[in-house]
Structure 1
Amino acid sequence: MGTKQSRILLSAIMTAILSTPLRAETLVVNSYGGPYEEIIEKAIIAPFEAKFGIDVIYDPVGSASQDYAKIKATGGRPGFDVVVMTASQSLQGCRDGVLEKLDVATIPNLAKLMPRLAAAAGPCGAVHEVQYMSLLYRKDKLATPSSWSALLAPELKGRIVLPTFQNIMAIYLVEMMSVINGGDLVDNLDPGFKAMEAVARQSIGFEQSSAILESYIKDGTVWAMPFWNGRAQLLVDAGLPVDYIRPKEGTIPLIATLNVPVGAQNKQSAMKFIDFFLEKTSQEAWIGGYKVGSARTDVEVPEAIRARQITSEADLKTLLLPDLSLVAERLPRWAEQWDRDVVPQAD
Structure 2
Amino acid sequence: MKKFISVALVLGMSASLAACTSTGQDAGSGGEDVVVVEGFGAEYETLFKENIAKPFTKETGIQVKYRAGGSGAETYAAIRAANGDPGFDLAVMTYFELDQGYQDHLLAPVTKKQVPNMANVPQKLQEHTYGVGAIHDVQQVSLMYNRDDFPKPPTSWDVMWSPKYGKGTLIFNPSNILGVYALLNLADMGGGGIDNMGPAFKRTEEMAKHALATPTTSAEAVPYMAKETATAFPYFDGRAAIYAKTNNYDFTVPAEGTYAHLGSLGIPDGASHKDNAYKLIDYWLSKKVQERWAHAYNVGPAITGLTFPADFAAKHITTPEKLDEVKIADAATVNKNRTEWQQEWQEAVR
Paired amino acid for 1:323: D
Q: How does 1:140-155 map to 2 (within 5 A)?
A: 140-143=148-151, 144-155=153-164
Alpha-carbon distance, 1:239 to partner: 4.1
Q: 1:33 to 1:202 in 2, by over 3 A?
A: farther
Contact map agreement 2:159 2:166 (CA 8 A) in 1: no
Residues 217 and 224, structure 1, Cα contact 8 Å, conserved in 2: no
Count residues with an aligned counterpart: 320
Residue 46 of structure 1 is matched in structure 2 by 54
Any idea what SS the aligned residue of 1:58 has?
Answer: strand
Moved more, 268-277 or 221-230: 221-230
- Corresponding residue to 1:124 among 125, 129, 132: 132
Relative distance call for 1:228 and 1:25 in structure 2 (3 A) is same
Structure 2 match to 1:175: 184
SS, match of residue 149 in structure 1: helix
**Is it true that 1:245 corresponds to 2:252 in the alignment?**
yes
Instruction: For residues 47-82 of structure 1, give each alpha carbon's deviation from its aligned partner in whole angstroms, at most 9, with x where no partner exists.
Output: 012122222222232112222222222222233221
- Is 1:92 matched up with 2:100? yes
Q: Bigger CA drift: 304-313 or 194-203?
A: 194-203
Q: Could you list the per-position Cα deviations for residues 279-332 of structure 1 after superposition, in whole angstroms to 9, with x for gaps in the alignment?
A: 110001011111211121112322221122112221112112332332223223
Where does 1:299-310 land on structure 2 (aligned, <5 Å)?
299-310=306-317
Spell out the pairing of 1:19-168 with structure 2 (5 A cutoff): 24-143=32-151, 144-168=153-177
After superposition, what is the alpha-carbon deviation per residue over 1:200-223, rounded to whole angstroms, capped at 9, x for unaligned? Answer: 343344334333333432332423
Amino acid at match of 2:183: V
1:278 aligns with 2:285: yes
Task: Return the letter of the residue paired with 1:257.
Answer: S
Q: Distance in 1 between the 2:348 and 2:64 partners?
A: 41
Aligned equivalents of 1:146, 1:218: Cα separation in 2? 24
TM-superposed CA distance for 1:267, in Å, is: 1.5
> CA shift at 1:272, angstroms?
1.2
Specify the alignment match of 2:239 in structure 1.
231
Distance in 1 (alpha carbons) for counterparts of 2:48 and 2:316: 19
Q: Which residue of 2 aligns with 1:293?
A: 300
Q: Per-residue deviation at 1:87?
A: 1.3
Per the alignment, in what secondary structure is the counterpart of residue 314 of structure 1?
helix
Secondary structure at 1:163 match in 2: coil
- In 2, are the aligned partners of 1:127 and 1:256 still within 8 Å (CA)? yes
> How big is the shift at 1:23?
7.4
* CA–CA separation in structure 2 for the residues paired with 1:31 and 1:268: 19
Per the TM alignment, residue 167 of structure 1 is displaced from its structure 2 partner at its CA by 1.7
C-alpha deviation, 1:243, in angstroms: 0.6
5+ residue gaps, structure 1, are 1-21
Letter of the 1:117 partner, please give it. Answer: L
Q: Which amino acid aligns with 2:67?
A: D
Distance 2:37 2:349 in 1: 33
**SS of residue paired to 1:83:** strand
Q: Which moved more, 1:251-260 or 1:68-77?
A: 68-77
In structure 2, the partner of 1:188 is 196
Give the match's secondary structure for 2:342. helix
Moved more, 92-101 or 137-146: 137-146
Tell whether the 8 Å contact from 2:172 to 2:182 is kept in structure 1 after alignment.
no
Q: Structure 1 segments of 4 or more deviating over 6 A?
A: none
After superposition, what is the alpha-carbon deviation per residue over 1:222-276, rounded to whole angstroms, capped at 9, x for unaligned? 232211012211222x242111110111100001111111122221211111111
Contact 2:79 2:268 in 1 (8 A): yes
In the alignment, is the contact (CA less than 8 A) between 1:133 and 1:252 conserved in 2?
yes
| Aligned equivalent of 1:207 | 215
2: CA distance, partners of 1:199 / 1:69? 33
Report the TM-score, using the length of structure 2 for normalisation: 0.84
Among 335, 342, 346, the alignment partner of 2:348 is: 342
The residue number in structure 2 matching 1:15 is none
The answer to whether structure 1 residue 314 and structure 2 residue 321 are counterparts is yes
TM-score w.r.t. length of structure 1 = 0.85
Rg larger for: 1
Check whether the contact 2:138–2:262 (CA below 8 A) recurs between aligned residues: yes
Letter in 2 for 1:272: K
Q: List alignment gaps of at least 5 residues for structure 2.
A: 1-29
